[in-house]
Amino acid sequence: MKNLIRKMELMEKYISVSLFIAMLLVLTVQIVSRYFFSIAIPWTEELSRWLYIYIIFVGASEAVSRRDHIAIDIVPNRLSESAKHVLDIMIHLIFAATSVVIVYRGYIFAQRMDRLGSITMDVQMSVLYMAVPLGFTLILIKSLLNIGTSVAALQDMRVNKKQLSPLMKITDK
C-alpha cells in the first residue's frame, strides 16, 4: 500500500510541476508580449488562472497524502498511539465521505457548465469546473489509502502487543 502511495505522490508531483512550468511559461509569454512588444494576448491570463486552479486541487491531494492539511493537534498529541490511529481513521472517513459528495455534486455542476464557453479561449467551462471532481477524486483515493495505512498500523500494534505479553509474564516472575 505504501508503494502505491509513493507512486501516486510521484505522479502528482510530476503533474504539479508540469502544470506550474506551463503556467510560468504562459505568464512569461504574457509579460514579454505586453511589455516588450506592446501586444496583449488575451488568453494567457485566463489559461494561467485555469492552470493555477488545477495545481491547487492536485496539491490538496498531496497534502492529504502527507497529512499536511490544516489540523488542530492539541488532542492528538495527548492521545496514545493506538488512539491516534483511530482518530486518523475517523478523520479520513470524514474526508472520504465529504469527497464523495463533492465529486458527485461537482460532476453535476461541471456538466451544467458544458453549455458555456470561456471568455478568451474556445474551451467549454466544464473543463475548468472538472478540476473540482478530479481533485476530490484524488483526495478520496488518498483518504482511503490513509485509512488502510492506519488500520494496518493498528493491527501491527495489536500483533506486537500479543507477542510481548508472554514475554512480560516471564520477566515479571
pLDDT (tens digit, 0 to 9) for every residue of the chain, 173 residues total? 778 878 888 888 899 999 999 999 999 999 999 888 888 888 888 899 999 999 999 988 888 887 777 777 787 778 888 888 888 899 999 999 999 999 999 999 998 888 888 777 888 888 888 999 999 999 999 999 989 888 988 888 877 766 655 544 555 44
Q: Where are the domains of the chain?
A: 2-172
Contact 62, 135 (CB under 8 A): no
Closest C-alpha among 79, 103, 105 to residue 90: 79
Give 37-95 as a DSSP string: S----THHHHHHHHHHHHHHHHHHHHHHHHT-S----HHHHTS-HHHHHHHHHHHHHHH
- Three-class DSSP category at 122: coil
pTM of this prediction? 0.81
Q: How far apart are CA 13 and CA 9, in angstroms?
A: 6
Q: Which three cell numbers stand for residue 21?
A: 512550468
Q: How far apart are CA 1 and CA 24, in angstroms?
A: 34
Sign (positive or negative) of CA dihedral 61, 64, 66, 71: positive
Contact 159, 78 (CB under 8 A): no
